[in-house]
Each structure stands twice: as structure tokens, then as C-alpha cells.
Amino acid sequence: MGLLAVAGALKLIDLPTFIASFEEWTTVPHVLRVPVGVAVPTIEILVSGMWFASLWRRQVIWGAVALLATLASASLVQSVLGEPPACRCLGAMVRFDNARLAAVWAVGKSLVLLALLLPAIVGRAYWPQSEQP
């Protein structure tokens, strides 16, 4: 239930990104995209909150199962009838991870370029006297 709470919280923190992800869904009617985008994280937090508050635990477990089965079924239907949906369930965290990955590639590229320049720096003994630094 902790993962459900975290998933709901991350969606709510960056709610516009989560709601925008429904623009790619052809199986969700346009008028329902915002209500569904708000309802999903709200239900996730409510269900997990009720679990941690020890309220109706048996019903909460079945509610969580129903929620996850509904989300999985909706994703499956979208994948079969349209394009597979992009998961932006984690909103800002995914953007941060993508930015971090881009930074790693940029650093790696710079290190490779630096490595390619090393022979020229190390081999400066072969430079003509007029060009030596």
C-alpha cells in the first residue's frame, strides 16, 4: 500500500503532466480525461490512507485490487485498440530521471572527446617549435 500512496502522491505533485498523458489515449473520451486524471491519484491516496488507518482493511484490499485491475485493463485495451500509452505516472520524477540520463550522456560525450584530444596533448614533443604552447 505504500507504493500505491507514493504513486498517487507523485501523480498529484505533477498533476498537469499526468492529465496531459491522457491526450494520447484514444479509448478515454476527451470529456473524461481531466476527471479520470484527478480521480486516479486521489483514489490511490484514499485507498492507501484507509489501509494505514486500519479502516475496513478487507474492503480496502479488494478496492486496491479493483483499482489496479481497472488500470491494467484500461492500458491493455488502449494498447490493443490504439497506440500503447506512455506512462507518465510518476510525473516530475520521470522528467528528472530523463534529465539525469541526458546529463550522463553529455558528460560521457565530453570525456570521449577529451580522450580523443589526449594524443595531441601528450604528443606535443612532436609539435614544431613555433606552435608549442
| Residues 34/19, Cβ–Cβ less than 8 Å | yes
- Residue 42 and residue 27: Cα distance in Å, rounded? 21
Q: What is the pLDDT of residue 48?
A: 92
- Residue 78 and residue 29: Cα distance in Å, rounded? 12
The sign of the dihedral angle between the CA atoms of 80, 88, 95, 30 is positive
Residues 45 and 106 in one domain: no
Residues 2 and 40 in one domain: yes
Is 103 a domain residue? yes
Residues 66 and 121 in one domain: no
Taking only the tens place, the pLDDT of each residue in 75-128 is 888 888 877 776 666 555 566 666 677 777 777 777 776 777 667 666 665 556
Residues 30 and 76 in one domain: yes
Residues 22 and 45 in one domain: yes
Is 132 a domain residue? no
What average pLDDT does the segment 51-55 reach?
86
Residues 50 and 73 in one domain: yes
- Residue 9 and residue 74: Cα distance in Å, rounded? 21
User: Phi and psi of 53, rounded to 5°?
Assistant: -85, 0
Residues 70 and 103 in one domain: no
Lowest mean pLDDT among 22-26, 54-58, 83-87: 83-87
User: Phi and psi of 26, rounded to 5°?
Assistant: -90, -15
Residues 53 and 107 in one domain: no
Residues 41 and 78 in one domain: yes
- Residue 31 and residue 8: Cα distance in Å, rounded? 22
Q: What is the pTM of this model?
A: 0.62
- Name the residue range of residue 39's domain: 1-90
Residues 85 and 96 in one domain: no
Residues 104 and 46 in one domain: no
Q: What is the pLDDT of residue 96?
A: 62
Helices and strands (H and E) in the chain: how many: 5, 0
Q: What is the pLDDT of residue 88?
A: 63
Q: How many domains does the chain have?
A: 2
Residues 9 and 26 in one domain: yes
Instruction: Tell me: pLDDT of 42 over 90.
Output: yes
- Residue 128 and residue 64: Cα distance in Å, rounded? 75
Is 45 a domain residue? yes
What average pLDDT does the segment 44-57 reach?
88
Given pLDDT bands bounded at 50, 70 and 90, which one contains residue 4?
A: confident
Percent helix, strand, coil in the chain, to 5, is 80, 0, 20
